[in-house]
Structure 1
Amino acid sequence: MIDIRRRLKYLVCAVVRICGGWCLNQRIRLCVFVMALMCAFFTILVLASASSHSAQNESMAKKITSLEEKLNNFEVRYRVKPVTYNFPKETAPYPPGYSEEAMNMIHNLTGTRVLNGLQPRYIHRMQLPFLVQILTHLLNDPFSLWPLYHLSGARHYMDFVIGIPTVKRDKQTYLFTTLTYLIKALSAEDKRSVVIVILVGEPDVTYILKLARQIEIMFPREISDGVIEILAPSPAYYPELEDLCPTLGDSPKRAMWRTKQNLDNIYLMAYAIGKGVYYLMLEDDVTTKKDFLPEMKGYIETTTEKTPHWIFIEFCQVGAIGKVFRTRDLLPFVTYSQIFYSNMPIDWLLESYLADRVCSIDKKSKSCAESKLRVRPRYKVSLFQHIGVYSSLQGKIQKVQDPQFGKVQSYFPHQNPPVQKITTTIEDYYQHSIQNAYEGIDFFWGKKPKKGDTLEFWYGRPLQIKR
């Protein structure tokens, strides 16, 4: 752009100088003036065209980035094709071994959609490379990777797969609160582009059916439309957790809990590959901001243009909540997690995975942190908040929250009617006076308020107070 301007400037000056030598009379001067105007007009046209080309180039770059994303995701979808398993007609309607309570519940739920999940017939291949070599117990059961329960609306190739692992909690469950916030925050258009997959990490069929029925009663439309899916791994998927080698100085109970949590996340991620374009990690005890999905989509688009090789994007800084992967990038992380699934919790695995990807041994911690930030962009505010107090680990209380969630302005500029005087018995903290707050230029911050303190507003005439 600078070269074009410079060349045009030199061209105009040269034309004027050349023509100036010929300007022997007024008519020639007029011709030179007209020629100079034409050159200036030509210059403006070229600059406008260059500016237009710049805008077109920027738009084209965005389109190319978007097409590259789609192309890569089509490749993933090609590799992961849905498979239909046709069981022989002589197969029993339900496998033997269910408890009497489970069979009674099955009988009572006859005719409901919930029962379809007990005999899943349509599911894409689980992408679990090398898992059999790492978890050799899977060879003991040919259906160890086949789900115990899978209630699906057969949605595929969505924009977002939202993964929510859940287990039975002793004191309080937050799953329905989480689902309520999510569903309310999604517009009708958003719901057409997402699938929420709830993984129930419990081997108890009775519990799974009760939970599925509760979800169907609370969110019938979302179950019917396939917005919500329910998935439960086979009990044969899990190894004997009592035989774990202790790590991190954790008690055997805690080591079992975090290892089981990792295995649930691995299964859920493996299921999500090929199910959509992006995968959002959540937990079953979170709330969310309204219209979180359009905000995420916009930030992902701009981030991909600037940093095309990001590994995951962070929309919440607490644990493993609010982390967004491209589904095509899940396979390396799933493989990594399979190797170290019993070593550390899932949020530590995320950090370890990043460090192994971008930090060399000779790098200092500060340099490593900067390298990780380049491939782990963070959104300006948190879109999700952790609300669980009672952990799924029995006896554990956790009050971890993201301080970046729900930040609001300290005050909003406003106008109040004229006031004669304002008095208060509360001492101002620095410049945060009640007078400034009333005039709408600051908020009021008082020091050590106590019972009996007053705020008085004296007006010259009676006013009708609106708010």
Structure 2
Amino acid sequence: MFQSALLSPPDVVPRNKQTLVDCVFQGWTRSAPKQLSWQLERLVSKESWAEQGDYLHLNVTYQLLAGTPSTRQKFLTIGMSSVKRKKGSYLVPTLQSLFSQSSREERSSMVVVVLIADFDVRWITSTVREINSTFASELDLGQLLVIHVSQKWYPPLTGLKRNYNDAPDRVSFRSKQNVDYSFLIHYSAGLGQYYLQLEDDVFSAQNFLTTIRKHIEEQNAKKDRWAMLEFSALGYIGKLYKSADLPLLARFLFLFYQEMPCDWLMSHFRQLMTQRETILFKPSLFQHMGTFSSFQGTFNKLKDKNFEEGLYTNPSAEVYSNMSTYQKYFPKLAWDPGEGFFWGRSPGRGDYLTVVFLEPVVVAGILVETGSGGKDLLDSGQVELGQDVFTAAMKSCKTFQSLGAFMNGKFEMREVDKRHGSASSCLRISVTAGQKDWLIIRKIRITTNVKEQKNS
């Protein structure tokens, strides 16, 4: 018979008292108060046929180790599972990154669910204690839940098929990981309108939730069916699903748990849900921080080259330059998100790259980075803001005001709006002295003051 903590309430111990794990360790449990049971009822949408008739039973009981489930559905559920590593833990820094990079409004729109997917009771106890002490506010506000599933609910994890000639211990590891994710996703169904899968060793970009919301709205406006949006190119990091699809995804991972790794299974699921091509957004919103893998503590230096920690807010614009461009390294690549850049041949005094905004904006912050590996830096140059667009051979502005010069190939300025509060129509990078070296403009990033913009 189907069992779930959200249908059959788990053993719960208040966070400010002894944790459930402590109680289990001493051989006793405390039943959940009846008044909590209504809070724990599943909020899952009945759009899923698997839930409508309770088809494809997934027998599992959850233990709620910390946190208070919200009585209302959030916009986004973020799920991750965590196991004991041989060389330290990244779980707490990962959670700190998620919450610290989010505004108060964003935190109120999300819930992070952590499945403690290990069976070492002492490690579970110490981990839950650290989470309780570090994230007291988030736990009280229903923004963080910590759950656990007993080993008895897991299918066989040894003696499995050795597909791809993987070693037996590798097969056991990746098969258990699939089951971990299956249980995690099944629990999370309906807690939010959308579900984001992360690993427990990542750090996030600033205001990632706002960026995700924007991309979801844009994707839904296209009216093309999608099953998975990707906000990182790595593994099972930054993959987003609709809550209505989670019951099927949970059962899919469970059904094929021993066949292949989870990041391979997710691609098959996407295709089965009739989304043929990947939908990957750049820059990536999540970066892998772990150095040592959860599998045998092996060294892992995997990084996402498209990650940008700061929020990408560049408005729509056209980009022009009078510098000779090398091959296909066009000026606009320095403005667009991702790893692209502008590469020009030896610039002379008076050469420029001009960004012309489609709509005037109040610029609050500017970051311009040039060069690569210490080469092709802009030796002498300045950044300027302009007004009054006109069109000649190229679009530009009639008047410009200098903000300052480059230092060691980089220009960065905050609170620009306090000096230059009116809306600008152009941003120009001007070369103030010729150089023999070529020039790479790797990144132009601005932040805008939306409030001032509306008032101007």
TM-score by length of 2: 0.60
Contact 1:117 1:152 survives alignment (8 Å): no
Which residue is 1:257 aligned to? 173
User: Per the alignment, in what secondary structure is the counterpart of residue 185 of structure 2?
Assistant: helix
Question: Quick one: which of 390, 398, 401 aligns to 2:303?
Answer: 401
How far, CA to CA, are the matches of 1:149 and 1:187 in structure 2? 26
How far, CA to CA, are the matches of 1:206 and 1:118 in structure 2? 26
**Displacement after TM superposition at 1:336 (Å):** 2.1
Contact 1:117 1:151 survives alignment (8 Å): no
Question: Quick one: which of 106, 116, 131 aligns to 1:200?
Answer: 116
After the TM superposition, list the runs of 4 or more consecutive aligned residues in structure 1 that deviate by more than 4 angstroms. 84-87, 98-101, 115-122, 125-129, 407-411, 428-433, 436-440, 442-447
* Number of aligned positions between the proteins: 312
Aligned pairs for 1:336-375 within 5 A: 336-358=252-274, 372-373=276-277
Q: Pick closer, same or farther for the CA change 1:433–1:266 going to 2, 3 Å.
A: closer
Contiguous gaps of at least 5 residues in structure 1: 1-79, 88-93, 108-114, 133-137, 139-144, 359-370, 412-417, 419-427, 448-467
Which residue is 1:297 aligned to? 213
1:130 partnered with 2:56: yes
1:318 partnered with 2:234: yes
**Displacement after TM superposition at 1:86 (Å):** 9.6
**Displacement after TM superposition at 1:194 (Å):** 1.0
How far, CA to CA, are the matches of 1:117 and 1:184 in structure 2? 32
How far, CA to CA, are the matches of 2:230 and 2:137 in structure 1? 30
The C-alpha deviation readout for 1:155-177, integer Å capped at 9, x for no partner, is 14111111011000010211111
How far, CA to CA, are the matches of 1:320 and 1:281 in structure 2? 7
**Displacement after TM superposition at 1:151 (Å):** 2.7
Aligned pairs for 1:68-147 within 5 A: 83=7, 85=9, 102-103=25-26, 123-124=40-41, 129-131=55-57, 145-147=60-62
Which residue is 1:246 aligned to? 162
Which residue is 1:154 aligned to? 69
Question: Quick one: which of 192, 217, 234 aligns to 1:276?
Answer: 192
Contiguous gaps of at least 5 residues in structure 2: 12-17, 45-50, 311-333, 335-340, 343-348, 350-372, 383-404, 407-428, 439-456
**In percent, how many aligned pairs have the same letter?**
28
How far, CA to CA, are the matches of 1:186 and 1:310 in structure 2? 26
User: Per the alignment, in what secondary structure is the counterpart of residue 164 of structure 1?
Assistant: strand
How far, CA to CA, are the matches of 1:445 and 1:181 in structure 2? 43
User: Per the alignment, in what secondary structure is the counterpart of residue 381 of structure 1?
Assistant: coil
Q: Pick closer, same or farther for the CA change 1:219–1:352 going to 2, 3 Å.
A: same
Q: Rg larger in 1 or in 2? A: 1
Aligned-partner residue type, residue 153 of structure 1: T
How far, CA to CA, are the matches of 1:248 and 1:118 in structure 2? 49
Aligned-partner residue type, residue 148 of structure 2: A
Aligned-partner residue type, residue 252 of structure 1: P
Aligned pairs for 1:427-466 within 5 A: 434-435=379-380, 440-441=429-430
More strand by share: 2
More helix by share: 1
The C-alpha deviation readout for 1:273-328, integer Å capped at 9, x for no partner, is 12110001001000001111111101101111114411111111101101110110
Q: Pick closer, same or farther for the CA change 1:432–1:263 going to 2, 3 Å.
A: same
**Displacement after TM superposition at 1:378 (Å):** 1.9
Aligned-partner residue type, residue 288 of structure 1: S
**Displacement after TM superposition at 1:190 (Å):** 1.3
TM-score by length of 1: 0.59
The C-alpha deviation readout for 1:9-57, integer Å capped at 9, x for no partner, is xxxxxxxxxxxxxxxxxxxxxxxxxxxxxxxxxxxxxxxxxxxxxxxxx
1:218 partnered with 2:134: yes
Question: Quick one: which of 145, 149, 153 aligns to 1:237?
Answer: 153
The C-alpha deviation readout for 1:382-428, integer Å capped at 9, x for no partner, is 010011111110142221111100189679xxxxxx9xxxxxxxxx9
Aligned-partner residue type, residue 404 of structure 1: N
Q: Pick closer, same or farther for the CA change 1:102–1:406 going to 2, 3 Å.
A: same
User: Per the alignment, in what secondary structure is the counterpart of residue 96 of structure 2?
Assistant: helix
How far, CA to CA, are the matches of 1:342 and 1:445 in structure 2? 59
**Displacement after TM superposition at 1:441 (Å):** 3.6
How far, CA to CA, are the matches of 2:199 and 2:176 in structure 1? 14
How far, CA to CA, are the matches of 2:267 and 2:431 in structure 1? 40
The C-alpha deviation readout for 1:119-145, integer Å capped at 9, x for no partner, is 99563459685256xxxxx6xxxxxx1
Q: Pick closer, same or farther for the CA change 1:201–1:149 going to 2, 3 Å.
A: same
How far, CA to CA, are the matches of 2:5 and 2:157 in structure 1? 32
